[in-house]
Amino acid sequence: MIFKVKDTFKELFIVNKETYEGFIHVFKDNNPLHTNQQFAIDKGFDGVVMHGNILNGFLSYFIGEKLPTKDVIIHSQEIQFKNAVYLNDELQFNAEVIGMYESVKAVEFKYNFTNRNAQIVAKGKFQIGVIK
């Protein structure tokens, strides 16, 4: 198999205006925490909080476009949101192979997203199948 336990991968993502507005346009999620500066501040945040599922989009992009093979399908994924993400945040994505299951051609990863302050904003696991 193309992967080995302990293989690591990195990618930099920026939550830019195009991604933010595109998410709202496509999914119609206009919750005031994500769209109203004063509302978000009143709730204890530094400003409008980006939709957590934007990170799922980055995860999908990474799996589909940045792994060393396109012969993959997502079996499962989990994400835990730990800290808020704001517009124009730079997020370092780090993933590591933690399990190989040759009999079913599956690979398990753990991952996290960290912001410029080295805070983990989200973490989780995903499992892919290699579909050759």
Q: Domain with 58 in it: what CATH number? A: 3.10.129.10
CA torsion through residues 85, 29, 80, 68, sign: negative
Residue 3 domain-assigned (yes or no): no
Residue 1 domain-assigned (yes or no): no
The structure tokens 């590591």 sit at: 96
pLDDT for 18-43, tens place per residue? 999 999 999 999 999 999 999 999 99
Instruction: Tell me which H or E stretch contains 20.
Output: helix 17-27
Question: Do residues 73 and 131 make contact, with C-beta atoms less than 8 angstroms apart?
Answer: yes
Give the model's confidence band at 128: pLDDT under 50 very low, under 70 low, under 90 confident, else very high.
very high
Beta-strand pair 72-81/90-101: unpaired
Report how many domains make up the chain: 1
Residue 91 domain-assigned (yes or no): yes
CA 18, CA 20: separation in Å to the nearest integer? 6
Print the domain residue range for 121. Answer: 8-130
Residue 69 domain-assigned (yes or no): yes
Residue 126 domain-assigned (yes or no): yes
Residue 32 domain-assigned (yes or no): yes
Question: Do residues 57 and 18 make contact, with C-beta atoms less than 8 angstroms apart?
Answer: no
pLDDT for 55-96, tens place per residue? 999 999 999 999 999 999 999 999 999 999 999 999 999 999
